[in-house]
């Protein structure tokens, strides 16, 4: 036997015991226990009473903690008023009509700015989600502008539009339109291509595919995007009203801050939260009605 042949034989003979040991090791492993096949995991359904109970705990728990902290005097009431003091401040502001007029002013700005942003972003998002040309043209610019804080545009908007309502509404539009455009485009891109092809095979035109397939399928996702960005609109309207405003909930916060009226600040914050929750619930109900097929 030649030298290379002997080396190959030695390698082969040396490998056999190793293979045998690995096989023996596996043979010593304990058998896996037999288990019944599991079905698909299901979400545990909560009764209406349980849901309302959990919601009550979510609301009453923080309120109770707030009341306890303020009552034991851990924090100066100037900085953390009690829930009773906040309720009294709310009653005084509501009785004077200030709260209602400020809420109406802020709602008007949010309605105008958010509505204009949605009117701009939905067509742009539909175009980006359905057309590669529109996506290539718009995505770089929108992707760049969305990282610029809307509050950074306030000096420019004051220079361009003055201190009136147009500059405040423009802040809302800038703060919402870019994010809502991209989120709308993402919702449109979730439409399965098979649905579009099937509609086209059945003779639907491009416009009919857009109206009868893409729009109904993507509408629930668009409404979800609006729910997210409606909260952003309220953030921006308060920022806009902090500067050169004579009405609005943000203006009322600044005015109360000058006199250390933290109870009024808390009352206004509660009003903002309640209004925002009402808007969110309204959009959620709209989604459940117009998009039952989406779950």
| Residue in 169, 176, 172, 161 with CA at minimum distance from that of residue 124 | 176
- The three-state secondary structure class of 102 is helix
The total number of structural domains that make up the chain: 1
pLDDT of 75 higher than 90: no
52: in domain: no
Measured CA to CA, the distance from residue 49 to residue 219 in angstroms comes to 31
Digit-coded pLDDT (tens) for 112-133: 999 999 999 999 999 999 999 9
Output the pTM of the full model: 0.79
Structural domain of 235: 80-294
* pLDDT score recorded for residue 20: 47
Please tell me the predicted confidence (pLDDT) of residue 206: 85
> Does residue 229 lie within any of the structural domains?
yes
DSSP category for residue 130: H
Q: Is residue 21 part of a domain?
A: no
Over the stretch 18-57, which tens digit does the pLDDT of each residue have? 444 554 556 676 776 776 666 565 666 788 888 899 989 9
> Which pLDDT belongs to residue 33?
72
Note whether residue 220 is domain-resident. Answer: yes
pLDDT for 123 equals: 96
Within-domain flag for 132: yes
Model confidence at 289, in pLDDT bands (50, 70, 90)?
Answer: confident
Which letter does DSSP use for residue 276 in this model? H
Phi, psi of 191 (to 5 degrees): -65, 120
Cα atoms found within 13 Å of the Cα of residue 172, Cβ hemisphere only: 28
Is position 53 within any domain? no
Looking at 83-87, 153-157, 267-271, which range is the least confident one? 153-157
The verdict on residue 222 lying in a domain is yes
The reply to whether 208 falls in a domain is: yes
Predicted confidence at residue 151, as pLDDT, reads 87
Which CATH number is 278's domain given?
A: 1.10.3720.10
Lookup result for tokens 């399965």 = 192
Structure confidence at residue 46 (pLDDT): 80
Among 199, 232, 231, 233, which Cα is nearest to 216's? Answer: 199
The whole-angstrom separation of Cα 125 and Cα 189 is 10
């Amino acid at each position: 036997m030649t030298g290379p042949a002997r080396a190959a034989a030695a390698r082969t003979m040396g490998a056999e015991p190793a293979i045998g040991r690995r096989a023996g090791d596996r043979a010593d492993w304990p058998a896996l226990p037999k288990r019944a096949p599991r079905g698909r995991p299901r979400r545990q359904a909560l009764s209406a009473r349980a849901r309302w109970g959990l919601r009550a705990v979510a609301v009453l728990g923080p309120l109770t903690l707030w009341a306890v902290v303020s009552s034991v005097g851990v924090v100066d009431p100037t900085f953390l008023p009690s829930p009773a003091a906040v309720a009294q401040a709310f009653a005084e502001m509501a009785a004077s009509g200030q709260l209602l007029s400020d809420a109406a002013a802020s709602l008007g700005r949010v309605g105008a700015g958010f509505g204009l942003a949605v009117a701009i972003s939905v067509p742009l998002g539909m175009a980006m989600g359905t057309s590669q040309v529109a996506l290539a043209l718009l995505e770089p610019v929108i992707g760049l502008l969305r990282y610029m804080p809307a509050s950074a545009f306030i000096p420019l908007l004051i220079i361009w539009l003055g201190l009136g309502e147009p500059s405040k509404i423009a802040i809302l539009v800038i703060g919402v339109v870019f994010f809502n455009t991209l989120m709308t485009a993402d919702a449109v891109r979730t439409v399965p291509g098979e649905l579009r092809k099937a509609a086209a095979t059945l003779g639907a035109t491009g416009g009919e595919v857009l109206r009868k397939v893409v729009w109904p399928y993507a509408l629930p996702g668009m409404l979800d995007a609006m729910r997210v960005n409606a909260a952003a609109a309220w953030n921006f309207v308060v920022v806009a009203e902090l500067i050169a405003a004579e009405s609005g909930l943000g203006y009322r916060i600044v005015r109360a801050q000058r006199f250390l009226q933290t109870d009024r600040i808390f009352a206004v914050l509660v009003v903002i939260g309640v209004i925002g929750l009402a808007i969110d619930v309204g959009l959620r109900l709209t989604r459940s009605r117009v998009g039952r097929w989406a779950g």
